[in-house]
A and B are shown apart, each in its own frame.
Chain A
């Protein structure tokens, strides 16, 4: 009994850093943030509780509403396009093609780079006076218009383009490893049955890839909620506030505008959104009944 106890002490000692981080950096800060959001804190935290007034104020702030709308548009656009493009690329790479490695490397390299680099690259390409628009005009189509980056109602779509450029390789990589995991005999069986390739993909492969698809959606959703650097580098939230996103809203109010009450209320809203996204998924991944997991 004695030696065992001593060993266990060592394992608790080893977990001290993780414990401190979890308790102070995660749980403590999270609770503190939520707590501040119920006070009238401005530049510094105060203990003057005012109920949900900050939340009312938050949802009366058009900039916040625009941020949320943009997040939804960006999220839907990014996830849909990445899933479709990523799956098509993975399926194409799975056809015993030549230069498979080269193509895979090309599709994935943007994912290695930062959002800042991605944003700045696309900002330059889409530059209305010197970028693609001007190039096409120089070719003779003098009325050609592609200046979304400076259009109030289009700027967020530019963010989607840049986001897709950066992240669809990730989906491709996940999907490709999913496709490679499919039993080759299944393809043979389908061939014997005379099932056309596209039907195999649609009726057999896609349903089998559900876990991969869900993982991709969760990963992309988290990127959507967190999107900050990309917008900073690409549009700066502009023109005006037309491409604002929640993460940027929060940081602006925390540090630029020193309204931490409002900012923490916004943070808490984000927190709830993320919990709504990931709770079902965590349940599915870690706690779903064994029966559904079987058959692999």
Chain B
């Protein structure tokens, strides 16, 4: 819509016919220049991370952060994965990676399942106090986590799950519930209600309808939920650092400990390799899911 046209100006030039002659206009050029600069801004940090992770420390000290490595080495990657140090522990970022995986799998499955169940009950069944429950749930999605944290720590300590795998998984379920419920509630509410009514008439009970009819129909929204939860939980730092305990620190926490540790010489190449490794899982999800990711964002943008 921004393009303008230029016309043959000479009098009695060709009789206009067929497509308008177009010349490259300033607006169009400006558009692509803007897009190119924007793309540069978003790509540059990733480029810098990648080239840095392939350089030797000697080359990094020269200070040409944007230059390509003169002799690329994957040594920093191996070191980052296998032997990067947090304080005195030198097990590499792989420790955090496997911790994150172990946290991720139960958290994603359970939070989606509970969210689906709650969304189903709230959207298709008449439950007294449903609106109130949902309102408070929504509120929970918006309030700063700092409000909940200390009492949760106390509760966890009392029941003995503070600093354990159970503790961190429960935390992800708790704070994933609002978004998951919202997602499934809106999804089930958008399905034709006749379907549900027919199942009721056929004598289906609450759980029968859920497991036999609703869950099998939920594939699209489960994909969206998976994208949101996998990236969200993988990227979590706050809950990991507080609730997971020393043995289960997720990858983000371990990464920060490695990079921002004050001991020893800073190995920027190893740090960048570790950083990219940490970003890898959500990036793979992002590139594979494509438009679904955007759909997830739109759904997560909390529209009523």
Task: Please report A residues at the B interface, Cβ cutoff 8 Å.
Answer: 6-8, 10-12, 14-15, 17-19, 21-22, 24-30, 32-33, 36, 45, 85, 88-89, 92-93, 95, 97, 103, 105-117, 120-125, 127, 129-132, 134-135, 137-138, 165, 169-170, 173-174, 177, 187, 191, 197, 200, 215, 218-219, 222, 225-226, 228-229, 232-233, 236, 246-247, 250-251, 254-255, 260, 263-264, 266-268, 270-271, 274, 278, 282, 285-286
Residue in B118, B147, B298, B304 whose beta carbon sits within 8 Å of that of A17 in the complex: B118
Closest 4 interchain pairs by CB? A114-B235, A10-B206, A134-B63, A29-B151
Residue of A nearest to B63 (CB): A134
Task: Assess A125 versus B48: contact at CB under 8 Å? Given A12-B127, A135-B64, A271-B143.
Answer: yes
Q: How far is the CB of B288 from chain A (nearest CB, A)?
A: 11
Across-interface contacts of A282 in B (CB, < 8 A)? 138
Judge whether A215 and B147 touch: CB under 8 Å. Answer: no
Residue in A45, A113, A187 whose beta carbon sits within 8 Å of that of B282 in the complex: A113
Bound CA span A36–B121, Å = 35
B302 CB within 8 Å of chain A: yes
Across-interface contacts of B48 in A (CB, < 8 A)? 121, 124-125
Task: Assess A11 versus B63: contact at CB under 8 Å? Given A33-B147, A124-B52.
Answer: no
Task: Please report B residues at the A interface, Cβ cutoff 8 Å.
Answer: 1-2, 31-32, 34-35, 38-39, 41-46, 48-49, 52, 60-66, 114, 117-118, 120-122, 125-127, 133, 136-140, 142-152, 154-155, 173-174, 177, 181, 205-207, 210, 231, 234-238, 242, 252, 255-256, 259-260, 268, 271-272, 275, 278-279, 282-283, 285-287, 290, 293-294, 297-298, 301-304
Q: How far is the CB of A251 from chain B (nearest CB, A)?
A: 7
Judge whether A18 and B148 touch: CB under 8 Å. Answer: no
- Count A-B contacts at CB 8 Å: 275
Across-interface contacts of B126 in A (CB, < 8 A)? 8, 11
Judge whether A113 and B283 touch: CB under 8 Å. Answer: yes
Judge whether A18 and B138 touch: CB under 8 Å. Answer: no
Task: Assess A131 versus B65: contact at CB under 8 Å? Given A14-B121, A36-B150, A112-B283.
Answer: yes
Bound CA span A88–B302, Å = 23
Residue of B nearest to A89 (CB): B38
Residue in B127, B140, B297 whose beta carbon sits within 8 Å of that of A11 in the complex: B127
Judge whether A233 and B260 touch: CB under 8 Å. Answer: yes
Residue in B42, B45, B46, B275 whose beta carbon sits within 8 Å of that of A169 in the complex: B42
Bound CA span A187–B116, Å = 40
Q: How far is the CB of B243 from chain A (nearest CB, A)?
A: 12
Judge whether A229 and B237 touch: CB under 8 Å. Answer: yes
Judge whether A278 and B65 touch: CB under 8 Å. Answer: no
Judge whether B39 and A10 touch: CB under 8 Å. Answer: no
Q: A32-B154, A110-B45 are in contact. List 20 more A-B contacts (CB 8 A).
A: A10-B207, A14-B120, A14-B121, A17-B114, A21-B140, A22-B136, A26-B139, A27-B136, A109-B286, A114-B252, A114-B278, A116-B255, A120-B256, A125-B44, A131-B65, A177-B298, A197-B2, A254-B146, A260-B150, A267-B149
Judge whether A121 and B42 touch: CB under 8 Å. Answer: no
Judge whether B303 and A109 touch: CB under 8 Å. Answer: no
Across-interface contacts of B127 in A (CB, < 8 A)? 8, 11-12, 15
Across-interface contacts of B41 in A (CB, < 8 A)? 165
Across-interface contacts of B65 in A (CB, < 8 A)? 124-125, 127, 130-132, 134-135
Across-interface contacts of B173 in A (CB, < 8 A)? 21
Residue in A22, A45, A125, A222 whose beta carbon sits within 8 Å of that of B45 in the complex: A125
Across-interface contacts of A15 in B (CB, < 8 A)? 118, 121-122, 127, 133
Residue of A nearest to B286 (CB): A112
Task: Assess A7 versus B206: contact at CB under 8 Å? Given A28-B151, A130-B60.
Answer: yes
Task: Assess A226 versus B148: contact at CB under 8 Å? Given A8-B127, A92-B34.
Answer: no
Can you give 17 A-B contacts (C-beta < 8 A)?
A11-B127, A18-B137, A19-B133, A26-B137, A92-B31, A105-B287, A106-B43, A113-B279, A114-B235, A121-B46, A170-B297, A177-B298, A215-B302, A229-B237, A233-B256, A250-B146, A285-B302
Residue of A nearest to B132 (CB): A22
Residue of B nearest to A263 (CB): B150
